[in-house]
Chain A
């Protein structure tokens, strides 16, 4: 789904940035894409997606 409607950025774009580019925070994400640069409504959800993706990946590692 679209997380940032102002800039057309999806949850998949964010997850991809975390996995492929090692993004770990909203600040780092904003350096890669214009998320949150207009109305700012999306930043909370974006933050949650970053956190959830990191947690998901760490859990996968633990399982091996």
Chain B
């Protein structure tokens, strides 16, 4: 089925974000693991694997629409040096992805590509939830202090 070319290039942009996200969260996960922060390792590891599954759905959709998924392009990673900075880098990443996706969902709606729209809405929902989780961490750090917070992540 031949897809709309604007939607195809937008899907490739979301794919680039997911491919970048896989690496950012995987590296952050293993940095946390290296410091013994298992709770944060688990959370970020799962996020990275989820990104891979999201990338898979996007790749298959692009192929279905007779486009070529671009697995060459990768965005810049934002990697922190310590926990709080890492959480901040991830929050910035999530915020950027959420604002990237909204106009693309509107484009799908306008072009009546409801299946692609649904795929993107599912991704957006998960990304928003992760941003919410990041904001909760921020709140906890502000309330209990970074030392107690880190202790809770062991």
Contact = CB atoms under 8 A, between A and B. Distances in A.
B78 interface: yes
A41 B85 contact: no
A16 to B, nearest CB: 14
7 contacts: A1-B81, A1-B85, A1-B89, A2-B79, A2-B81, A5-B77, A5-B79
Contacts, number: 16
B23 to A, nearest CB: 9
Interface of B: 76-81, 85, 89
Among A1, A2, A5, A10, the one with the most B-chain Cβ atoms within 10 Å of its Cβ is A1
Interface residues of A, number: 7
Contacts of A10: 81
B76 A1 contact: no
A8 B72 CA distance: 23
A33 interface: no
Ranked 10 nearest A-B pairs via Cβ: A2-B79, A1-B80, A41-B76, A1-B85, A1-B89, A5-B77, A1-B78, A1-B79, A10-B81, A1-B81
Interface in A1-36: 1-2, 5, 10
A41 B79 CA distance: 14
Contacts of A1: 78-81, 85, 89
A45 B77 CA distance: 11
Nearest to B88: A1
Contacts of A2: 77, 79-81
A5 B79 CA distance: 8
